[in-house]
Amino acid sequence: MTRPATTRKPRARSQARIDSILDAARTLLASDGVASLSIYSVAERAEIPPSSVYHFFASVPALLEGLTADVHAAFRDSLQQPIDHAQLTHWHDLSRLVETRMLNIYSEDAAARQLILAQHGLTEVTQADRQHDVELGNLMHELFARHFHLPALPDDVEIFALALELADRVYARSVQLHNAITPRMAEEGQRVFDAYLGLYLPPFLLKKIEPEHAPA
């Protein structure tokens, strides 16, 4: 009767160890950038043996991929937060709300800026970011479809994912120049986001009487 408890405890301990490793890596990344990150610096910061880090993350790129997934989890959560349907008049209202939430994450999370917007040249992280952008784009497509009647959209181009990536290019430029996303460049990124979506969405979309429920 005690076996379930003994099988759950290692998983809980493992997750706690993973969390401590990611927290340490996030702190180092935010303060010193990607170049400062190593398995040994993370182990020292987390106050655990390097072998414990290697047990969960075989390399620095693997560790950064884990952090990228963690950042995108926050982006996914921002898309799933409640939205007041009554306050939406135009689809631009929804796009601005979504982008503002994502900008808030960038503003509060220096590690997110370092991973996604800074120039680090790590192919693994860039590829992981693009894969997560596709997922975020699909979630955003579903979000827009819950509140507005969308036209037929191409199925061979991830337009919402591309809109996110294009806006990120603008934010990345701001981070490279100013080490932050300035209010001016935040506005420019949102304009780019809206402009690209505007190639596929008409100026005015019919709003749904009631928002559809999110899929279970």
- Every domain of the chain with CATH number 1.10.357 lies at 64-216
Q: What is the mean pLDDT of residues 139-166?
A: 94
CATH topology of domain 1-58: Arc Repressor Mutant, subunit A (1.10.10)
Q: Report the largest interatomic distance among the alpha carbons of the chain, rounded to a whole angstrom.
A: 63
The number of angstroms, rounded, from the C-alpha of 86 to the middle of its chain's C-alpha atoms is 27
Please give the Cα distance from 189 to 151 (Å, whole number).
24
Please give the Cα distance from 76 to 139 (Å, whole number).
8
- Give the pLDDT of residue 2: 44
User: Smallest Cα–Cα separation from 182: which of 103, 69, 86?
Assistant: 103
Our separate counts of H helices and E strands in the chain read 9, 0
> Per mean pLDDT, which range of 12-21, 63-72, 122-131, 205-214 is the poorest?
122-131
DSSP 207: B
Q: What is the mean pLDDT of residues 4-18?
A: 64
Provide the pLDDT confidence category of residue 214 given band limits of 50, 70 and 90.
low
Token pair recorded at residue 182 = 């300035």
User: Smallest Cα–Cα separation from 37: which of 15, 59, 18?
Assistant: 59
- pLDDT tens digits for 29-71? 888 877 778 899 999 998 899 898 989 988 888 888 888 888 8
Q: Which residue has the tokens 């796009």?
A: 95
For residue 148, the SS3 value is strand
Question: Is the distance from CB of 21 to CB of 46 less than 8 angstroms?
Answer: yes
Please list, in sequence order, all residues whose beta carbon lies within 8 angstroms of the beta carbon of residue 182, skipping any fewer than 6 positions away.
174
pLDDT at 110 exceeding the cut of 50: yes
> Per mean pLDDT, which range of 33-42, 141-150, 152-161, 196-205 is the poorest?
33-42
For residue 5, the SS3 value is helix
- Can you state the angle between helices 91-108 and 60-80, rounded to 10 degrees? 140
- Every domain of the chain with CATH number 1.10.10.60 lies at 1-58
Q: What is the mean pLDDT of the chain?
A: 87
pLDDT at 208 exceeding the cut of 90: yes
**CATH architecture, range 64-216:** Orthogonal Bundle (1.10)
- Give the bridge partners for 207, in sequence order: 148
Token pair recorded at residue 81 = 């937060």
Q: What is the mean pLDDT of residues 78-84?
A: 94
pLDDT at 134 exceeding the cut of 80: yes
